[in-house]
Amino acid sequence: MAKVIKTEAYLVDIEVETVRTDATQAFLKQETLFVEVTTDEGLTGTGYAYTIGTGGRAVLAMLRDHLLPALAGHDSREIEGAWRTMYDSTRATMVGALTALGLAAVDLALWDLRCLRAGEPLWRVAGGARPAVPVYDTERGWLQLGEDELVAGAREAERQGFSGVKIKVGKPSPGEDAARIRAVREAVGPGLDIMVDANQAFTGAEAVRRAALLEPYDIGWLEEPLPAEDVAGHERLAASTSVPVAVGESMYSLGHFREYLQRGAAGIVQPDVARIGGITPWLKVAHLAEAFNAEVCPHFLMEIHVSLAAAVPNARYVEYIPQLRAVTQRGIRIDGGLAHAPSEPGLGIAWDADAIDDRRVA
């Protein structure tokens, strides 16, 4: 058997590597939840989740008080059963961000155990579509950057072999948004994908207006144009523009993705493995999208998403935002415009235990 005999959850603060602002918020620090699950076979799996500055201690309390006690004595090989047991034990707070984040940290630890037990990397155990996936850069596209900085960043990303860049939009003036994207497109030409991200900043009417302004610059997608709960607004927007609409980082259930896809409200889905509740539901979202002939481009967390994107056939991109370098021994390998999934058994993240201990806050 692979019975769970010990669990531990703790909170680590990781400072941001650079200033990151968008139309609705600033990324102040990464509150990182770690979970370790040990079994009677002598294996320990490590999982994690995150917030961008608030709520970390609330998630930690959810883990310690409810989720991990529900896992005690469970057969760690039965991941679907464990996920459902924890979900059922916290129905009063589901579907919701805090519980989903806690679920994710545990689920990742169980998948780490599964891969360690199998002696295989995550990308292969989870599906094994191909070992590497195209990667685009977000780190040079934040909202506080001026046109010259955006152009220089896009050129550098292209020089380094990235297949695309993402630029934040949501300036008070629609014309300023358009000018920023036009400057980058004119600088790099047609060969580099340019995606834009509004971080839920627009009303329905304003999203239609700005999409029309940006269409001439051949953008790859318009991400989170409206609040995530406004499915009808996204549906109207998608019907009004040739620009693909991308959503998902602020969605916490498989059913929410289903509603978007059924209504044609999104053409690209961006599940975040922490916010959706772990690898178990992330894969369901990816396969659901495949059934609707839609692409998957996961949000953030490149260190884990490179393996998940490599596992499924409909993943288009991995997003490059380095944030774990302070607590890992190495980053993901990028070569020839592709992010390569780790090949060693487990999740493939080389944690630096000493660095993590130094940043532990609870």
| Active site amino acids | 168, 299
* Sign for the pseudo-dihedral over CA of 138, 143, 144, 150: positive
Count of CB atoms situated within 10 Å of the CB of 263 = 14
Backbone angles phi, psi at 8, to 5 degrees: -145, 140
Alpha-carbon distance 272 to 89, whole Å?
Answer: 23
Closest CA to 4 of 33, 34, 43, 35: 43
Alpha-carbon distance 89 to 306, whole Å?
Answer: 31
Instruction: Bin 177: left if φ > 0, else alpha if -120 < ψ < 50, else beta.
Output: alpha
Alpha-carbon distance 133 to 121, whole Å?
Answer: 15
Q: What angle do CA 245, 18, 131 make, to 5 degrees?
A: 55
For residue 255, what are the CA distances in angstroms to 7, 25, 261, 262, 269?
Answer: 30, 26, 10, 10, 13
* Sign for the pseudo-dihedral over CA of 247, 298, 23, 96: positive
Using a 10 angstrom Cβ sphere, with 0-12 exposed, 13-18 middle and 19 or more buried, the burial of residue 4 is buried
**Residue-wise burial string across 80-103, b where 16 or more C-beta atoms lie within 10 A, e elsewhere:** eebbeebbeebeeebbebbbbbbb
CB 276 within 8 Å of CB 103: no
CB 163 within 8 Å of CB 195: no
**Helix 279-291 vs helix 79-89: angle between axes, to the nearest 10 degrees?**
100
281 Cα distance to chain centroid: 13
